[in-house]
Structure 1
């Protein structure tokens, strides 16, 4: 089959005219001179603060240093359920590592600390951790892709970061699903490389059957669920979209379970994993659609047309199986304005669970994908870096350099206290034994800390007018207005 060619490439002029996100200083990769010219007001206000913070970190004595730099927990780095051990750092190294949180010092730190050695890595990160980190898939803003019809959006800058965070969570789940948790990009054979590029092409920025998890299909499905193209998604929205996308793509051979109100019901997971409930029902959302019904129907037709050929074995979808691998998604709101400190220990404990596949959430008004933990700092992949979309062409024509744009080489950290309370947690269970172990681990966390995710055998039976499909989280909303806002929470 001859694929349509997206002939227009990103020229220098295109990039210069490209609209920048709100946090352009945060994502800019241009020369320092351009940053100074285009961000003069920002720098005038921030340079004194950042210089003071950097120097303070550099020369602070050990007794006054943050707890996260003094405690033994800093010697362990968790990455999606795997532990890596660091060598003790001296005071200067610790201060520089802490200063990495300030983006304006990134070029300085890169020159001094991110020194390639052997197969890659950093002097500040264990080699085995770094190999694992750079093997994770990183979905970011893209520009100059074919417009997402029926809109004219050719970029998701400024509105697509939760969509990209959700893509990252799903993509890394699929890596583990097809290639195992121990797969590393630097050490793959020919067969694993073929599977790797197959997974990557599922996320290309185009509306076609070969890209079932593209930004186009996510946006089109979101429109059917009440979200205009270009409108921000919340954690609950992206979890519903992931469930529908994967359910409509049988080659993924993956079941999706969406937890309700922070509770995982064993019987419901069994039903999803054995094929009794293969797909969620989102018909109730149609009543909330606030835009033209004609546009919603157009989006539905475009979505269904791009699904052609994805389910050649559709007759097997509803057949019961012993236990199909399942991705469990838990949308939570752990606080009102900010993440409540009582939930810190339980949230950190999730990073130690072997089945954990990350968190799509982030800072206020900015979604990130969290995959690691060191002390009180979370390690993340940031979608707020815009790249030119890959040209539409045959898979064999893509180069490794093009695929390299889906991997991050610089671990970034943020303190847990800076997190937004709305987030989406993911757990991947390949077998029933994995699921049983996950349930036991969540029970232990709930016994020791303030529970964020609980496990029960069966869902209680409610009258139809009692239970709200929109409810999720730990804290009850005090009024209807807050409940309506809790789903989106302005994360983009």
Structure 2
């Protein structure tokens, strides 16, 4: 798909719509339900308010000598950005926040958006994600899978002191409740170790109270992005998982699903009937310098939904859920047990309250590495002299 002067040209194989189809079936978008007949404007506004990360060209070269564009290899990295951007939008602005194309700069929203601009200094830039991918065995310019991008974002999130978010990647199709509670409330808190400054945030809206919300046990709770990488079949998605997969979009904690077709990633935000609604990163746009006061953010919002049949989905995906506080996480666990793990003969993933005794101890990622300062900040890494090979 390419973008020229406001016109979209879609690649063959992608089922795209200029608008949501007129249907009596409900449309679910990231925990919200709409009527495509009666709630069309609200539905459109919700969709266009999601942050759309696409291929970009002419950004500062990765590592100084690496690629200055990510066309052909960065689609899963962009999808990971979109899932995390949705998490941070809800975290800082609330799920009911909506984008207004009026030239005014909403400070909280703009600060979230700036975390993803194509500069090394931005916490979740393409430069940072691609460079951190080397630690996961991926050369810069090599295509990521859903698990790889989740692992990379987990590492980068440690250095976003403003959001104070923790990312847990549940491996082996298994969610261990008490591992996550310990991560969000326990003494392994990396910001406790590093002395991070806490900032303000509030339930459902703009910043008002401390992000480290009190848990029921009396400790503080760090907001959570839970990512569950899954393989739901061998070469095609197994039909026994389809109902559960669609059910995930009905959870209020949903921040979507990253996946797509082989080597062709999308960020899925909802469904209607047997079709998934997604944002497609396969549009090449020029780099936008968000630090320029004359810049605008229109290229980060897609006017038109893309649709595909759920049966066309590649079986390798990652499902995301954002839990602002302990009550959110408890509610997620209840809903997941009710609709996914306990309701199906072949559940999409499993849940245990405690870690199986034969498993190794859980060791959360803290970001601490041996150095003269005790840890290495992402923003201070010197990668200017490294050379990278562009793969495929």
Fold shared, TM-score > 0.5 on shorter chain: yes
Aligned residue for 1:439, secondary structure, equals helix
Query: 3-state DSSP class of the match of 1:142?
Result: strand
**Alignment partner for residue 87 of structure 1, among 12, 23, 37?**
37
Equivalent residue in structure 2 for 1:241, among 128, 149, 152: 152
Which structure has more helix as a fraction of its residues? Answer: 1
Task: Give the Cα–Cα distance (whole angstroms) in 2 for the partners of residues 240 and 158 of structure 1.
Answer: 21
- In 2: Cα distance, 1:195 partner to 1:463 partner: 41
1:328 matched to which residue of 2? 226
Residues 1:341 and 2:239 are matched in the alignment: yes
Aligned-CA RMSD value: 3.3
Give the Å deviation of 1:456.
1.0
From 267, 270, 274, the equivalent of 2:185 is 274
Among 352, 357, 369, the residue aligned to 2:267: 369
Contact kept, 8 Å, 1:256 with 1:272, in 2: the verdict is no
2:2 is matched with which residue? 28
447, 451, 454: which is aligned to 2:342? 447
TM superposition shift of 1:189: 12
Give the Å deviation of 1:225: 2.1
2:305 aligns with 411
5 Å-filtered alignment, 1:342-491, equals: 342-391=240-289, 394-395=291-292, 397-399=293-295, 402-445=296-339, 446-449=341-344, 450-462=346-358
Secondary structure, in 3 states, of the residue corresponding to 1:242? helix
Q: CA 1:271/1:159 → structure 2, altered by over 3 Å: closer, same or farther? A: same
Question: Displacement of 1:275 after TM fit?
Answer: 4.3
Higher RCO structure (Cα 8 Å, ≥6 apart)? 2
- Displacement of 1:278 in angstroms is 3.7
User: Separation in 1 of the partners of 2:242 and 2:155?
Assistant: 31
Deviation at 1:140, TM superposition (A): 0.5
What do the CA deviations read for 1:370-412 (whole angstroms, capped 9, x no partner)? 0011011000000000100113x735x143xx31100100011
- Structure 2 equivalent of residue 261 of structure 1: 172
CA contact under 8 A between 2:51 and 2:300: conserved in structure 1? yes
TM-score normalized by the length of structure 1: 0.63
Q: Could you list the per-position Cα deviations for residues 196-231 of structure 1 after superposition, in whole angstroms to 9, with x for gaps in the alignment?
A: 1111111110111xx110000001100122110001
Q: What aligned pairs does 1:8-23 form with structure 2 within 5 A after superposition?
A: none
Task: Find the residue that maps to 1:384 and give its secondary structure.
Answer: coil
1:206 aligns with 2:119: yes
Structure of larger gyration radius: 1
Counterpart Cα distance in 2 of 1:83 and 1:234: 29
1:64-79 alignment runs, 5 A limit: 74-79=24-29
Contact map agreement 2:3 2:284 (CA 8 A) in 1: no
Q: Aligned-pair distance for 1:87? A: 2.1
**1:264 CA displacement:** 1.2
1:315 to 169, 174, 195: 195
Q: How far does the alpha carbon of each residue in 1:61-98 deviate from its partner, in whole angstroms, 9 at most, with x for none?
A: xxxxxxxx99x8x520000000001228xxxxxxxxxx
Q: Is 2:81 aligned against 1:167?
A: yes
